[in-house]
Structure 1
Amino acid sequence: MTEPEIFDGLTAILRQVFDDPGIVATPDLSARDVAEWDSFNHINIVVAAEMRFGVSFKSSELEELRNVGDFAALIQAKTRP
């Protein structure tokens, strides 16, 4: 899966979770940038990403993430053949 495909998928997920058609997944975007990004919505994002990209995340992997760019890189690593 390409990086643009992952960011497009993450944008769709973020728009759905936050009910905001203007939000765009960028590498630097983080929970600090979105007022509604709380622990509940964080879980919703992770579960939606697992379903959309067909991957599973370990808690230890998620604890290392600092922004959407880190999340996209993790997804890309897990979807490589």
Structure 2
Amino acid sequence: MTTEEIFNQVSLILKNTFDNNEIDLNHETSANDIDEWDSLSHIELISNIESHFKVRFALGELQDLKNIGEMVELIKTKI
């Protein structure tokens, strides 16, 4: 799976999780850029991503992520 394919799937998951199809996403988008992204929705987002891609993240891996692009790269290493 390519980086862009993963990004597109993560984008759909994120928009569905936050119930907002108007969110403008790019690889540099972070939690600070999205009003709906709080600690509870973050847990839901990670759970949805793990379920969709059938992967598991260690807490340490998630703590170091700065944006969606880094999440995409992490997913790419696990699938």
Q: Could you say whether these structures have the same fold, taking a TM-score greater than 0.5 normalized by the shorter chain as the test?
A: yes
Question: Which secondary structure does the structure 2 equivalent of 1:37 belong to?
Answer: coil
Q: 1:35-50, aligned counterparts within 5 Å? A: 35-50=35-50
Change (3 A) 1:51 1:25: farther
- Over the aligned positions, Cα root-mean-square deviation in angstroms equals 1.0
Which runs of 5 or more structure 2 residues have no equivalent in the other structure? Answer: none
- TM-score, normalization by structure 2: 0.93
| Stretches of structure 1 lacking an aligned partner (at least 5 in a row) | none
- What is the number of equivalent residue pairs in this alignment? 79
CA offset at residue 18 of structure 1?
1.1
Partner of 1:54: 54
1:14-61 per-residue CA deviation (whole Å, 9 max, x = no partner) reads 111111112244210000000110000101110011011111000000
User: Who is 2:15 aligned against?
Assistant: 15
Which one-letter code corresponds to 2:12 in the other structure?
A: A
Identity of aligned residues (%): 39
TM-score of the pair, normalised by structure 1: 0.91
Residue 11 of structure 1 aligns to which amino acid in structure 2? S
Q: Partner of 2:76: helix, strand, or coil?
A: helix
Structure 1 runs of 4+ aligned residues shifted over 6 Å read none
CA–CA separation in structure 2 for the residues paired with 1:23 and 1:10: 12
Could you tell me which amino acid in structure 1 is paired with residue 34 of structure 2? Answer: V
